[in-house]
C-alpha cells in the first residue's frame, strides 16, 4: 500500500510539473547571461546562490525547471513572497531562464544537522509515516536529496532548516498553494506535526 501511494504521488507530480514547465521550455537559458543579471539576487541568496541567511533559500545547484516555475509563479502572483515581488515583476521569461541556468550551474554548500533530531528526520525522509499516510520524501526528492530535474522536483540537500520548515508550515496552512492541482505538498505537510516538520527539515539540512 505504501509503495502504491508513493507511486501515485510521483506520477501525479510528474504530470503536473511537465504541464507547468511547457511554457518556458522553448528558450534554453544561458548561465553567462544569468550571472550578469544576478547582482540583485546576491544580497539575499549569495553571489553563487549559497545564501548565508537561514530564512532565504539556497539556489545553487537547484533544478532549472523548478527555479523557472517558482520565479514565474512569484511574478504571476501564484506564490506569495512579498520580499521578492519587486525584484521579479519586470523579469521576462528569458531573464528567468537565464537566472535559473546560472544558479542551477553553481555548486551548493552543505549544512549540518542536530544529532538529536536525525533519527526521526531520517525515518520520515526515507520511510515516511505509514500510519498517517505520509510517503517517503525520497520518492520525489531522491535518496540523497538531489531532486528530479525532469519532473521539476526540487533539490533539498543542504537547504536551510529554517527555510524548509517555513515552507512545510506554509503548505500545511495553505499559505503556499503552488504545488499544483494534486495538492501534493499541501496534503503531505498537513499530516505532519510541528516536531516532525522540525526533524525532517533538520535532516534535509544535513543531507550531502
Phi/psi at 145 (nearest 5 deg)?
70, 25
What is the C-alpha to C-alpha distance for residues 205 and 208, in angstroms, rounded to an integer? 8
Category of 140 on φ-ψ map: left (φ > 0), alpha (ψ -120 to 50) or beta: alpha
pLDDT band at 26 (very low <50, low <70, confident <90, very high): confident
Could you report the per-residue pLDDT of 133-176, keeping only the tens digit for each?
A: 999 999 999 999 999 999 999 999 999 999 999 999 999 999 99
Q: Dump pLDDT digits (tens) for 86-130.
A: 999 999 999 999 999 999 999 999 999 999 999 999 999 999 999
One fold for 2-13+110-206 and 21-104:
yes
* Alpha carbon distance 98, 34 (integer Å): 4
Give the cell for residue 80: 506569495
Distance of alpha carbon 6 from its chain centroid, rounded?
Answer: 18
Tens digit of pLDDT for each residue in 64-76? 999 999 999 999 9
For a pLDDT cut of 90, what percent of the chain falls above it? Answer: 87
SS (H, E, C) 6-67: HHHHHHHHHHHHHHHHHHHCCCCCCHHHHHHHCHHHHHHHCCCCCCCCCCCCCCCCCCHHHH
Q: Give the model's confidence band at 19: pLDDT under 50 very low, under 70 low, under 90 confident, else very high.
A: very low
Taking a C-beta distance cutoff of 8 angstroms, is the pair 105, 31 a contact? yes
The angle that helices 64-76 and 2-21 make with each other, rounded to 10 degrees, is 70
Residue 201 contacts residue 166 (beta carbons within 8 Å): no
Fold assignment, 21-104:
Cytochrome Bc1 Complex; Chain D, domain 2 (1.10.760)
Superfamily of domain 2-13+110-206: Cytochrome c-like domain (1.10.760.10)
CA dihedral 48, 50, 52, 54 (to 10 degrees): 150
Domain locations along the chain: 2-13+110-206, 21-104
Q: For residue 52, what pLDDT band results from cuts at 50, 70 and 90?
A: very high
Per-residue model confidence (pLDDT) at position 25: 56
**Model pTM?**
0.88
Record the cell numbers describing residue 101, joined without a space: 541556468
Q: Which pLDDT belongs to residue 2? A: 47
| Mean pLDDT, all residues of the chain | 91
Amino acid at each position: 500500500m505504501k509503495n502504491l501511494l508513493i507511486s501515485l504521488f510521483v506520477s501525479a507530480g510528474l504530470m503536473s510539473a511537465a504541464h507547468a514547465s511547457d511554457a518556458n521550455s522553448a528558450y534554453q537559458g544561458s548561465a553567462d547571461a544569468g550571472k550578469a543579471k544576478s547582482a540583485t539576487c546576491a544580497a539575499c541568496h549569495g553571489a553563487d546562490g549559497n545564501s548565508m541567511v537561514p530564512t532565504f533559500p539556497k539556489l545553487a545547484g537547484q533544478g532549472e525547471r523548478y527555479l523557472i516555475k517558482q520565479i514565474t509563479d512569484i511574478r504571476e502572483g501564484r506564490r506569495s513572497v512579498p520580499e521578492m515581488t519587486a525584484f521579479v515583476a519586470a523579469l521576462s521569461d528569458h531573464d528567468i531562464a537565464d537566472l535559473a541556468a546560472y544558479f542551477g550551474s553553481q555548486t551548493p554548500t552543505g549544512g549540518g544537522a542536530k544529532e538529536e533530531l536525525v533519527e526521526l528526520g531520517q525515518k520520515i525522509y526515507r520511510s515516511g509515516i505509514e500510519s498517517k499516510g505520509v510517503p517517503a520524501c525520497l520518492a520525489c526528492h531522491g535518496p540523497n536529496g538531489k531532486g528530479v530535474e525532469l519532473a521539476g522536483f526540487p533539490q533539498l540537500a543542504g537547504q536551510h532548516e529554517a527555510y524548509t520548515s517555513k515552507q512545510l508550515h506554509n503548505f500545511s496552512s495553505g499559505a503556499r498553494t503552488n504545488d499544483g492541482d494534486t495538492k501534493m505538498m499541501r496534503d503531505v505537510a498537513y499530516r505532519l506535526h510541528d516536531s516532525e516538520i522540525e526533524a525532517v527539515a533538520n535532516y534535509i539540512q544535513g543531507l550531502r
